[in-house]
Amino acid sequence: MMNTAQKHKQRRRGPLSKQKRLQIVRLHSEGRTRAQICRTVRCSDRTVKRIIDLYRLYKDVEDRPRAPRSRKLKALQEELLIVAAIVDEPFLSLAEIKRELNLSVSKSMVGRRLEEHGLMCLNNSSKRALTGWIKNARSSFARAHLGWTPAQWRRVVFTNESTICCKWDPNKSSWRGVHIWNDPVCIRQLKASGYTEQYVDILNRTLMPYFLDGPFPDRGFLLQHDPTPTYTSDEVLGCIEANGVHALSWPPKSEDLSPIQSIWSCIKLRICKHRLDEPCPDKLWDVVKHHWDLLTKHTKIVTKLYSAI
């Protein structure tokens, strides 16, 4: 047996026809109660009340659009929501965030507000779904480079971007905050948007001057980056061509094949041991930069990573 709520849920199949709305008004004018009208027309009490109220106001049964809902979260509450999610404790669930801030809204609304601010809850140890086409692309790439020696791989400049939180646990989902970019030589903090422009700026101002004045004065290196829209945009491709650089064709969804992922894991494991007194992006960036500088002193780490490919 279905209860009343289930029956009403089953009946909700879009807006009522004009004939149904006229029937509701007619039954009401005959002195029928709302409960009787609900049973006759087979709709909810809320719908009956709304149609009757609209008829009293406008003297017709046109299906007028409903007024938009007012935002239940104030600006200050939304700011506290973001701070709670990505600074104080990025591993809080929606229910825990709601309870900590004593919010009188649903968990789904909390999630929507976080998504509006560009935050997603991702599991650090989640497995990526690979389609048949991606699997074939990865397999073809592996076969094509099976005979490469460590010396050949050392002429590849690997680039990658990652998100760093104040606290990190590979087995927990977290809300992502500070975004940074790196290669085997440098590390740069990215703003929340405009990755394409920032990447072009890094190529022109940091990457190219370093390699041309240092290990690759003849431009004898291959640039690797993921085949995502940011790195395959006309601006980035034009910058690479203008600098006379050759790019290494990399299979999609294959960040895990890059040795930089091992560097990121090492950085994050070190950072998760820190507890910042007043967490903020600038302080977090200082910690990231500090540990990156420590890693760059261990040149054997990079050599081993290239040899392991």
Q: Would you kindly state where each structural domain of the chain is located, as residue ranges?
A: 16-66, 75-121, 147-308
In degrees and rounded to multiples of 5, residue 247 shows phi and psi of -100, 145
The listed range with the strongest mean pLDDT (27-41, 110-124, 149-163, 285-299) is 27-41
**Helix H segments across the chain?**
4-11, 18-29, 34-41, 45-58, 75-83, 94-100, 107-116, 132-144, 150-153, 195-202, 208-213, 234-242, 260-271, 281-296, 299-308
The reply to whether CATH 3.40.605.10 applies to domain 147-308 is no
For residue 75, pLDDT over 90 is answered with no
156 three-state secondary structure: strand
For residue 190, pLDDT over 70 is answered with no
Q: What is the pLDDT of residue 121?
A: 63
Task: Give 240-271 pLDDT, tens digit per residue.
Answer: 999 998 989 889 888 778 887 777 777 777 77
- Whether 307 and 258 have beta carbons less than 8 Å apart is answered as no
Helix, strand, coil percentages, rounded to 5, for the chain = 50, 10, 40
